[in-house]
Amino acid sequence: MDIKVEAKPIAEVEADALIVVGFEGAVPSGPFSGLSKELYDAGEFSGKALEIAILHRPAGLKAKRLVLAGAGKPGEFKPSEMRKLSGAMLRALKPKGVRSIVMALDEPFRSDDFAAAAVEGALLGDLEANRYKTDPKKNEKQVASFAVSGGSQAAVERGRVLAEAQNFTRDLANEPANLLTPTGLAESARKMAADYRLECEVLDQDRMRQLGMGALLGVSQGSAEPPAMIILRYKPTAATGSKDHLGLVGKGVTFDTGGISIKPADHMDQMRYDMAGGAAMLGAMRAIAQLKPAIPVTAIIPAVENMPGSRAQRPGDIVTSLAGKTVEVLNTDAEGRMILIDALTYAQRLGCTHLVDAATLTGSIVVALGFVNIGAFTNNQPFLDKLMAAAKAEGEKMWQMPIDEEYKEALKSDFADLHNIGGRPGGSVTAAMFLKDFVNDLPWVHLDIAGTAWLEETKPYMAKGASGVGVRTFVRLAQNW
């Protein structure tokens, strides 16, 4: 899709659809105000959020259609709402054969933030998870161009970079597990790194065995697919004098049966997105390579498949992690934390000074927060505050969860340093406490994205499937450092 800024006066814009934002109780101004008022007065349009009304061949405009897009109450309209609105309008117009769209931004929304959000929404809304459908008509009606009247070209370009990175993440997490194995994820990382000039290294099973990554290898041993530890490095072109080094660690379980502690059959097909945290880190690095923040960033993605094969890890097994601590495996379906502890330890060996991990880690976080908020845990409040400020700016919702030392009691083992589950009470918290034991004193944030990484149904602004959550937040965190 061609993305650009529209510099012509609105009345002179030639497009298949000109989108105008309308609010509850407030008729849009400009050359289309009279036409808009007629729709308001007739009750055909009220301005409610994501409402749409279309006028064909509007008088006084060169655009073929005038589209009124409902934005709700003016005081509540933020860039995050613009992102949804733009996506919803594109998804509504695309089936109608609209190939060129212009989003008209009225004051006070003619800003870089709103322009970038409009572009992001359009590109995110345009993605369909239909790659493997054989219907020849599936791509017949595609939007060729999207323009924004208002905002700078730099803002529009940033919106494009972020949305394409998020869509890259969504495509990875939507891939079926027979086509995206740990080796396949590593190959995708290598190709992306080559395209955007990132350093890429992949540790194979033998190298991980030499290093002593017993926690990760214990998870992977039940699968015929070998594991991979993916490392991507971004180095800023100019030295800043700061010793800070951001580490982004993402869970990369390309399919999770639960292992010997096997999951129920219902919805197990969705466990192809158990690598959404790792995919988010790959997407973030894709954008970071283009937007060039001043801080060095390293992403570490431990990639495995968790299968109940004849050599699979058993409940009761004890493994030795890269950090040298022993873990008693009480439940093989608590595998994400096992691969993450070796990745977090390795990130520290690579010199990372601040760590963020993202993982579809627990069902407990869904019980606590539903499908709306990411669960955020930390050992360093100022660092979490910085990350949550980035999340708020990007419209990604997070909620801080407790991490009191008392929760660690549930992880005590009679036979090893720790066991890998703490029981049902506070399951997301005890999982975070398990990870915390391996980050030492480094500032660290753990994000449990189990409830937000997958859309169970199509939204007006985004297709069903992987959401790509976290990508924009991680990029802004690096940019605002």
- pLDDT attached to residue 108: 81
Kindly report which listed range (92-101, 231-240, 271-280) carries the lowest average pLDDT score.
231-240
Of the residues 4, 94, 190, 263, only one is catalytic, namely 263
Helices (H), 406-470: 427-436
Is there a shared CATH topology between the 2-133+144-149 domain and the 175-479 domain? Answer: no
pLDDT of residue 200: 98
CB 419 within 8 A of CB 327: yes
In 3D space, the residue among 409, 408, 421, 417 whose CA is nearest the CA of residue 330 turns out to be 421
pLDDT of 110 > 80? The answer is yes
Out of 251, 337, 436, 472, the active site residue is 337
Element (H, E) at 418: strand 418-419
Distance from the Cα of residue 443 to its chain's centroid: 22
| Cβ burial, residue 147 (10 Å; 0-12/13-18/19+) | buried
pLDDT band at residue 343 using 50, 70 and 90 as cut-offs: very high
Q: Looking at residue 265, what is its pLDDT?
A: 95
Distance CA 370, CA 280 (A): 20
Q: How many CB atoms lie within 10 A of CB 127?
A: 22
> What is the CATH architecture of 2-133+144-149?
3-Layer(aba) Sandwich (3.40)
State yes or no: pLDDT of 404 exceeds 80: yes
What is the reported pLDDT for 252?
A: 98
| Tens-place pLDDT, residues 122-179 | 999 999 999 999 887 777 778 999 999 988 999 999 999 999 999 999 999 999 999 9
pLDDT, mean of residues 460-473: 97
- Work out the average pLDDT over 438-442: 96
pLDDT at 335 (0 to 100):
98
Higher-confidence residue of 38 and 218: namely: 218
**H or E element at residue 196:** helix 182-196
150 or 90: which leads in pLDDT? 90
Within 10 angstroms of residue 359's Cβ, the number of other Cβ atoms is 30
**Active site annotation includes 263:** yes
Supply the pTM of this predicted model: 0.96
Mean pLDDT of 91-114: 93
Residue 108 preceded by cis peptide, ω within 30: yes
Q: Is 57 a catalytic residue?
A: no
What band does 432 get if pLDDT is binned at 50, 70 and 90?
very high
Using an 8 Å Cβ cutoff, are 220 and 226 in contact?
A: yes
Contacts of 73 (CB under 8 A, 6+ apart): 23, 24
Highest-scoring range by mean pLDDT, 25-34, 50-59, 362-371: 362-371
Q: Does domain 175-479 have CATH number 3.65.10.10?
A: no
pLDDT tops 90 at residue 281: yes
pLDDT of residue 242: 82
Per domain, the residue ranges of the chain are: 2-133+144-149, 175-479
Q: Choose the weakest-confidence range: 58-62, 137-141, 199-203, 284-288.
A: 137-141
* pLDDT value of position 54: 94
DSSP for 278-342?
A: HHHHHHHHHHHHHH--SS-EEEEEEEEEE---TT---TT-EEE-TTS-EEE-S-TT--HHHHHHH
φ/ψ of residue 323, rounded to 5:
-75, -10
In 69-131, which residue ranges form alpha helices assigned H by DSSP?
Answer: 79-93, 112-126
In this prediction, residue 106 has a pLDDT band, given cuts at 50, 70 and 90, of: confident
Secondary structure tally for the chain: helices H, strands E: 13, 20
Query: Measuring CA to CA, how many Å separate 376 from each of 286, 339, 351, 385?
Result: 24, 19, 23, 10
pLDDT (0 to 100) of residue 128: 93
